Amino acid sequence: MIPDKIIAASGNEGKIREIKEILKNTEIIPMKEAGFDEDIEETGSSFRENALIKARAVSEKTGLAVLADDSGLCVDFLGGAPGIYSARFSGEGVKANRALLLKRMQGATDRKAYFECAICLYYPDGRYVFGIGKTYGKILEKETGEGGFGYDPLFFSDDLNKSFAEAAPEEKNAVSHRARAIRDLLTKI
């Protein structure tokens, strides 16, 4: 069973908003509001490992149940990059990440990509459960749409037939990698 109150181990407002919209009946508390404002070094070699690292660190400090995700964009043409390095792909922030992706994709005919999310629910007693989700699409040749965050303006969703940045939040949350990971998690608890 999912706890009534969970700390979200993230400083990313877009992720926290999506988690709150998906888990409507659970109180989601951003980690900073719960008194955790340390940087957590993501030293894992996979989305699962990084999600566990974040969830464990916050739970051990707060003594509460924690939900952490690690997610990213995996592009076939780039051999799966940026992958676990999606948030720090360029080292210069979100807009620079998108610009670097477009630069690296110049001339690419294979534009297939997917978002992957590993979400970890970590309990204060040390138990944890994972959910995994993916959503498929392709990388557009230019940014399209005003909504979303991160790579959303460049990701054309196969499910929605539009970019994630063109989708209403409820449309995106119906098919996103994060929503699918949360649904997978809920089947396991």
3-class DSSP assignment, residue 95: helix
Pairing state between β 5-8 and 27-30: parallel
Instruction: List the catalytic residue out of 70, 76, 158, 159.
Output: 70
- Contact call for residues 69 and 118 (beta carbons, < 8 A): yes
Amino acid at 166: E
In one-letter notation, the amino acid at residue 23 is L
- The token duo for 177 is 């990698």
Q: Quick check: is 37 catalytic?
A: no
Q: Distance between CA 176 and CA 70 in Å, rounded?
A: 14
Report, as residue numbers or ranges, the catalytic residues.
Answer: 70
